[in-house]
A and B are shown apart, each in its own frame.
Chain A
Amino acid sequence: MTRTGEPAIRVQNMEKSYKDLHVLRGVDFEVAAGSIFALLGSNGAGKTTMVKILSTLLKADAGTATVYGFDVATDALQVRESISLTGQFAAVDEILSGRENLVLVARLRHLKAPGQVADELLARFNLTDAGSRKVATYSGGMRRRLDIAMSLIGEPKVIFLDEPTTGLDPEGRNDVWQVVKDLANRGTTVLLTTQYLEEAEQLADRIAILHEGRIIANGTLAELKQLLPPAKVEYVEKQPSLEDVFLALVGNDGRVEASKDKS
């Protein structure tokens, strides 16, 4: 089904307006299979609109988008077979337990052993202990981990993460970063949107900057850096950032190491 050399995602001249508001004004980009692609932009830049069109939730006004060669408008069902969406807000069922959420998605994906799939994912995302608890009792970070775990069921080839770390504390954010890196190592294509420059810098193989409905820059981090005048050499005393202090005090390093060991 997949032609060799075909990018996992190809977006051409995509346009979308809500009444008079032109959200996307001709967006083009490609995402190579197995890579992490970051769509970077401020609030209202059109990132979520782009993700919704790619995940067949919204129709574009003009232009085309394909996922592994399937058109999101005309072959929506085939597109849905190969994608998973992790939206801006953790799309989890608060009344069900974490395990029940996973079993629910596994059943909807018609998998043979939904219980086993759920238990494996609970273990992989450090949620085994909380697995039988109502999701309403989860912290923001746990919710997001469960949310991403739900998106991995059925091993989709492409995962869309819409602002996956917005609203998370630094520990939760680091957990999510680790998951995203892990996904790419397993060969999953990841398209993530973010408004945090550091996040794009940490995770992405390629970064596209979406601004006022257009991609104004697209390249690797090194390529983007070349767009600016060469760096000046300055001598600055290296102080620990507040983040370094915070993470050292709450002992986050140990947790990150633990989750690395598991993967």
Chain B
Amino acid sequence: MSTNFLADTSVLLGRSMRHIFRSVDTIITTAITPIALMLLFVYVFGGAISTGTDSYVNYLLPGIMLIAIASGIAYTAVRLFTDMQSGIFERFQSMPIARSSVLWAHVLTSLVANGLSLVIIVLVALLMGFRTSASLLAWLAVAGILALFTLALTWLAIIAGLTAKSVDGAGGFSYPLIFLPFISSAFVPTETMPGPVRWFAENQPVTSIVNTIQDLFAQQPVGNDIWIALAWCVGILVLAYVFAMAAYRRRII
């Protein structure tokens, strides 16, 4: 069974990667909105924002990457929903394959696709003057946190894909997630916000993740933020996975 799982997952991963490379627009669109935001904030608003750092693009990049992931996972929900609608999901489930590989292939595809978008965004940021002294280890830590965040949100997307009634519903669930970085330390330091907003901003998952990545890029000690960030990511991941599997079992025996 486990050998089947790996073989079947890689066959199905190959399938959805073909989808992605045949509609490269999904990667471009995932990257382009965050890039536009980055341009807007660095070259229009950035001059008036005081973050206490030398380079606003250095400050901004982590939040932009989280926005990219939050919008990128919507495509996973849409791809899964389309599979359910077209009947190909049922075809796979009625075949002698490792059944869970159907979901895992979508999850892995999400990791790869979001990874590609992030690479594009980092390249654009470099052109815009993003510089980091981060060591290889720090880069690996950034990649690890981003992958964990993607994984957690992807399982949320799986719930949406399994339970949505329409393709708009499948894709639309991600809007609040895209909005979260705006009320965090991603664009401006939380100290400037009024009380209740500041309280929310400082206690929602995005801020700790953004702070951690900002510190890793700046080669500063990450402090407690990294543990709070990891706890949020793992917590969301576990909860989303449990609910996704429950939704899955309701759809299929």
Residues of A at under 8 Å CB distance from B?
A: 52, 55-59, 76-77, 80-81, 83-85, 87-96, 100, 104-105, 107-110, 150-151
- Are A109 and B96 in contact (CB-based, < 8 A)? yes
Closest Cβ neighbor of B23 among chain A residues: A95
- Are B93 and A57 in contact (CB-based, < 8 A)? yes
- Are B96 and A77 in contact (CB-based, < 8 A)? yes
- Are B91 and A91 in contact (CB-based, < 8 A)? yes
- Are A107 and B11 in contact (CB-based, < 8 A)? yes
Q: Which residues from B are CB-within-8-Å of A80?
A: 94-96
- Are B91 and A150 in contact (CB-based, < 8 A)? yes
8 nearest A-B pairs in the assembled complex, by CB-CB distance? A91-B87, A91-B91, A85-B94, A80-B96, A55-B94, A87-B87, A107-B11, A59-B253
- Are A87 and B95 in contact (CB-based, < 8 A)? no
- Kindly supply a per-residue 1/0 record for chain B positions 236-253, scoring 1 wherever the CB is within 8 Å of any chain A CB and 0 otherwise: 000000000000000011
- Are A96 and B18 in contact (CB-based, < 8 A)? yes
- Are B94 and A84 in contact (CB-based, < 8 A)? yes
Find A104's partner among B4, B11, B23, B94 (CB 8 Å cutoff).
B11
Residues of B at under 8 Å CB distance from A?
A: 4, 7-8, 11-12, 15, 18-19, 22-23, 86-88, 90-97, 252-253
Chain B interface helix/strand/loop/mixed: helix
A151 to B88, CA, bound (A): 11
Find A95's partner among B18, B96, B97, B253 (CB 8 Å cutoff).
B18
State the Cβ distance, A11 to closest chain B Cβ, in Å: 17
Closest Cβ neighbor of A100 among chain B residues: B18
Known: A107-B11, A110-B7. A58 touches B253 (CB 8 A): yes
State the Cβ distance, B102 to closest chain A Cβ, in Å: 10
- Are A56 and B253 in contact (CB-based, < 8 A)? yes
Closest Cβ neighbor of A53 among chain B residues: B253
A74 to B253, CA, bound (A): 11
Instruction: Give 8 CB contacts A-B under 8 Å.
Output: A89-B87, A92-B88, A93-B86, A95-B19, A95-B22, A100-B18, A107-B11, A108-B97
- Are A89 and B94 in contact (CB-based, < 8 A)? no
State the Cβ distance, B88 to closest chain A Cβ, in Å: 5
A83 to B95, CA, bound (A): 8
- Are B95 and A57 in contact (CB-based, < 8 A)? no
A92 to B23, CA, bound (A): 18
A188 to B4, CA, bound (A): 26
A150 to B95, CA, bound (A): 11
- Are B15 and A104 in contact (CB-based, < 8 A)? yes
Closest Cβ neighbor of A89 among chain B residues: B87
A212 to B87, CA, bound (A): 25
Residue among B19, B22, B91, B252 having the largest count of chain A Cβ atoms under 10 Å: B91
Known: A56-B93, A94-B86. 8 other contacts (CB 8 A): A81-B96, A84-B94, A88-B87, A93-B15, A93-B86, A100-B18, A108-B97, A150-B91
Q: Which residues from B are CB-within-8-Å of A89?
A: 86-87
Q: Which residues from B are CB-within-8-Å of A151?
A: 91
Residue among A91, A93, A107, A108 having the largest count of chain B Cβ atoms under 10 Å: A108
Q: Which residues from A are CB-within-8-Å of B87?
A: 87-91
A73 to B236, CA, bound (A): 33
Q: Which residues from A are CB-within-8-Å of B86?
A: 89, 91-94
- Are B88 and A83 in contact (CB-based, < 8 A)? no
- Are B96 and A87 in contact (CB-based, < 8 A)? no
Q: Which residues from A are CB-within-8-Å of B252?
A: 57
Q: Which residues from B are CB-within-8-Å of A57?
A: 90, 93-94, 252-253
Q: Which residues from B are CB-within-8-Å of A52?
A: 90
Q: Which residues from A are CB-within-8-Å of B4?
A: 110
Closest Cβ neighbor of B102 among chain A residues: A108
Q: Which residues from A are CB-within-8-Å of B253?
A: 56-59, 76
A80 to B93, CA, bound (A): 9
State the Cβ distance, B53 to closest chain A Cβ, in Å: 44
A88 to B97, CA, bound (A): 21
Closest Cβ neighbor of B83 among chain A residues: A93
A58 to B253, CA, bound (A): 6
- Are B88 and A108 in contact (CB-based, < 8 A)? no
A58 to B88, CA, bound (A): 16
Q: Which residues from B are CB-within-8-Å of A104?
A: 11, 15
Residue among A52, A88, A95, A100 having the largest count of chain B Cβ atoms under 10 Å: A95
State the Cβ distance, B67 to closest chain A Cβ, in Å: 27
- Are A87 and B97 in contact (CB-based, < 8 A)? no
State the Cβ distance, A190 to closest chain B Cβ, in Å: 16
- Are A108 and B8 in contact (CB-based, < 8 A)? yes
State the Cβ distance, A77 to closest chain B Cβ, in Å: 6
A52 to B91, CA, bound (A): 11
A99 to B59, CA, bound (A): 49
Q: Which residues from B are CB-within-8-Å of A87?
A: 87, 90-91
